[in-house]
Amino acid sequence: MFEPQRAPLLPRTAFLLRQARFGAAALAIIAGSLAIGIWGYHAFEGLPWLDALLNAAMILGGMGPVDPVRTTAGKLFASCYALFSGIIFLVAVGVLVAPLVHRFLHRFHLEVDSIDQNGERTRNQ
């Protein structure tokens, strides 16, 4: 997916295109997760679509629900959705910054020292 260590640094325009693709993927992850939350609050709590959007967005953003959850099914959904949202947030951030971290490491050629069989330090290339 990314260029190997010995390959030259990707040109700026190609890198920006890669970053845009990964940004679109992160946005799709967030949008899909928001859609799941909207559907869940509408189906399990009977909230109108706009209120379901508000609750799902607040949970996904880490703020917490706006409307009180009254039904057992709604409470189970809200619990699962809150845990899911925390993980999805981390995944989306990871997808978004992966090209930046790779470019940084590729640019500065992260080199790790290791010890060979004779106990001497060698530099991995």
Q: pLDDT tens digits for 68-93? A: 999 999 999 999 999 999 999 999 99
The more confident residue out of 32 and 3 is 32
What are the residue ranges of helices labelled H in the chain? 12-45, 49-60, 72-108
Taking alpha carbons only, the member of 98, 106, 121, 80 closest to residue 10 is: 106
The predicted pLDDT at position 116 comes to 57
Taking alpha carbons only, the member of 20, 9, 32, 10 closest to residue 95 is: 20
| 123: three-class secondary structure by DSSP | strand
Taking alpha carbons only, the member of 41, 31, 22, 46 closest to residue 88 is: 31
118, pLDDT greater than 80: no
For 98-122, b/e burial (b = at least 16 CB within 10 A) is bbeebbeebeeeeeeeeeeeeeeee
The predicted pLDDT at position 6 comes to 75
The predicted pLDDT at position 3 comes to 80
The predicted pLDDT at position 115 comes to 55
Residue 123's pLDDT band (cuts 50, 70, 90): low
